[in-house]
Structure 1
């Protein structure tokens, strides 16, 4: 059996919420939330396109690090993820939707709300403003209150609280749980958020796992994570059905082994004896610089420990001498000079990882999800003249 597809603009999350509730109950169409400002994918789906009856949601990936995909998620996977999240966060409650509904983290806020039988408060579109966020947080009425953010949003809230904004400080403390995902949460920002009274959980997951399935390093619910030849694989009921109309990609990413179905994340990492997951970075985010392997995610983590570089992005740039070199992209005018950045990174990651230069932006480009637009950053860095901090 199959069901039709329904495309809805993510600028109307209330419509996505209603349609998704119908889809999770087994009726209606499978929901395709889409960025209302995007022109990509407008030729899909056709009027007569359908998906398997169990598919409730299709997430179109941003393509920020590769070719976009259409991830098909079943109602069972979405609800299993919501149940696991509630178990890890101390119960079901009311959510503030502060992320676009066309990203899995935003869609999962709606799913968790449906499972909890609560109505989320939506931030809406536009620039993320801590004062506006705090006003909406005050509208939450349930005993348990939650929100899902990306690090740049959390950083703006913490900045405002540290600068003396009482409403923002109160909002941070108002939530019983703040999920932070989409990219690595730096230790500096984590410590500042905790000092401000925020109850945060760093999450790891993807559209293919119905969103975050590892909280603060530990798999939640029935999720299982294992290491295979230095790469992380995830198993459990939260896995997507695969990629629509792309059997080759589906077969490459999902496979059966040891009586379970697994998703190959493409991330380097390890799992300790007690099950704690450590993520080192993307396997495809490694460069060869002067004959040495350099993991750009490790460089970025080190750089973000420096004052003024908390939201810096590290990308690769071509070099006649070394082949490729790490380059730091940062907004504003951080006071730490390039020489100090190089020394700091070399001590922690190794000399070949020391950034070759720093490129300043008035504002780093971001996707609508709040994640950095690494493709746009890399293009700008490639076109930029050398500018040192």
Structure 2
């Protein structure tokens, strides 16, 4: 296995792109990384599992290291199906970290399209830098992949970054849920987005705007989302136990709850472990977050459960305001009216932004750490 450190430089990304091209053709498996501890947890000195082209290492939501094993077949199937859905191969701007699957797939798609990707390098995301990177694209169609936080910053800025975003034929938005309000803002601004659902285990997004990509099958069994198709990983690095738990008979069982609508559209309701047991009633953190985010004056929200002597778990919410913060009691009343008393947050606090881990994923442990023990509203 070939570990490749990434430092945000174009040279490192070019090296990774060449290594991925080699791996797709049968060369050594590639392990892109930025964290040496995570690299070491993948035991790079030991042979890669058979049929592995890329290992995506992640600490996951629990902090336990996990390496997703992806074959050339899975990576290519995902990239080809993406191009079919978007309208054909094109030139891509890499705007997310390449050691995560969303960024790495930009390189795979570029390789298959025979085009040279542009890179948004450095640390952090600034709209002006996005605009400068986009100006390097000289072909079409033009595509990029962003996380919701990046899209919000482009819309908020309203300057050169937003102008550049409008020039893309498709912007795949993934890694975290795209709210209805964000979809509406993008549409009003003339930005063509395609909300995507997927994960490392599905070689990036496999459900675009609610509908599975060609060759992908999605089933909802007992509210749990299950996925099958050539895009699937074939297991976890050195963890046959985890592999057996999640992969069975060609299906991958996700950690997400969902529902299939009559028209075939898949709606993801949130993680199976986002349920909060408060006073003996199970409520969905995701449903409360959606209710809060739909309120005027709210840009984003994260809801978690805190240990509580009286309630078992107390529902609390960290809210990112859009302008002047509203009174917490107003937001609590809105949740109560829509979802009932049990879902009503005991506490509402405000922050300039939600803490993140990885590409756009909310760090729920960090959110919990912001609240002191107790359940007073």
Q: Give the TM-score band, short-chain normalised.
A: over 0.9
Question: Could you tell me whether the CA contact under 8 Å between 1:186 and 1:310 is conserved in 2?
Answer: no
- The answer to whether residue 183 in structure 2 is matched with residue 175 in structure 1 is no
Q: Is residue 72 of structure 2 the alignment partner of residue 79 of structure 1? A: no
User: How many angstroms apart in 2 are the aligned matches of 1:209 and 1:26?
Assistant: 20
* Alpha carbons of structure 1 residues 249 and 46: separation in structure 2 relative to 1, 3 Å: closer
Question: Are 1:271 and 2:274 matched, yes or no?
Answer: no
Q: Per the alignment, in what secondary structure is the counterpart of residue 288 of structure 2?
A: helix
C-alpha displacement of 1:341: 1.0
Q: Return the TM-score normalized by structure 1.
A: 0.91
Which has the larger displacement, 77-86 or 128-137?
Answer: 128-137
**Partner Cα distance (2:176, 2:126) in 1:** 20
Give the Cα separation in 2 of the matches to 1:267 and 1:363: 24
Give yes or no for the alignment of 1:234 onto 2:224: no
**1:142: which partner in 2?**
139
Query: Is structure 2 residue 174 aligned with structure 1 residue 193?
Result: no
- For 2:15 and 2:300, the matched residues in 1 are separated by 33
Q: Deviation digits for residues 119-154 of structure 1, max 9, x if unmatched?
A: 111111312111111121122111211111111110
Matched residue SS, 2:300? coil
Q: Cα gap change, 1:205/1:47 in structure 2, threshold over 3 Å: closer, same or farther?
A: closer
- Alpha-carbon distance in 2 for matches of 1:171, 1:359: 35
Task: Give the equivalent residue in structure 2 for 1:364.
Answer: 354
- Residue 381 of structure 1 corresponds to which residue in structure 2? 371
In 1, Cα distance between equivalents of 2:42 and 2:228: 29
Contact 1:358 1:387 in 2 (8 A): no
Segments of 5+ residues of structure 2 without an aligned counterpart are none
Equivalent position SS for 1:240:
coil
Where do residues 221-300 of structure 1 align in structure 2 (5 Å cutoff)? 221-256=214-249, 261-300=250-289
Residue 208 of structure 2: aligned partner: 215
CA distance in 2, matches of 1:222, 1:10: 35
* 8 Å contact kept, 1:224–1:236: yes
Query: Are the equivalent residues in 2 in contact too, given 1:8–1:15 (CA < 8 A)?
Result: no
Partner residue, 1:306: 295
In structure 1, the residue matched to 2:22 is: 22
- In the TM superposition, what whole-angstrom CA distance separates every residue of 1:212-249 from its partner, at most 9, and x where no partner exists? 00001000111000111121100000000100111111
Matched-pair contact (CA < 8 Å) for 2:143–2:169: yes
Note closer, same or farther for the CA distance 1:209–1:46 as it changes in structure 2 (3 Å cut).
Answer: closer
User: Is the alpha carbon distance of 1:308 and 1:98 closer, same or farther for their aligned partners in structure 2, counting shifts above 3 Å?
Assistant: farther
TM-score by length of 2: 0.93
Q: 1:353 aligns with which of 343, 359, 362?
A: 343
Task: Give the SS at the match of 2:325.
Answer: coil
Number of residue equivalences: 373
Out of 139-148 and 269-278, give the one that drifted further.
Answer: 269-278
Contact 2:181/2:294 (8 A) holds in 1: yes
Q: CA RMSD in A?
A: 2.0
Contact map agreement 1:80 1:237 (CA 8 A) in 2: yes
The CA distance in 2 between the partners of 1:286 and 1:66, in whole Å, is 20
CA distance in 1, matches of 2:306, 2:277: 11
Are the aligned partners of 1:266 and 1:282 in contact in 2 as well (CA < 8 Å)? yes
Kept after mapping to 2: 8 A contact 1:149/1:179: yes
Change in 2 beyond 3 A, CA 1:344/1:47: closer
Would the aligned equivalents of 2:55 and 2:67 in 1 still touch at CA under 8 Å?
Answer: yes
1:91 aligns with 2:69: no
What is the Cα deviation at residue 168 of structure 1?
2.6
Aligned-partner Cα distance in 2 for 1:150–1:70: 22
1:204 equivalent to 2:197? Answer yes
**Structure 1 residue 351, shift from structure 2 partner:** 2.0
Look up the SS of the partner of 1:118 in the other structure.
coil
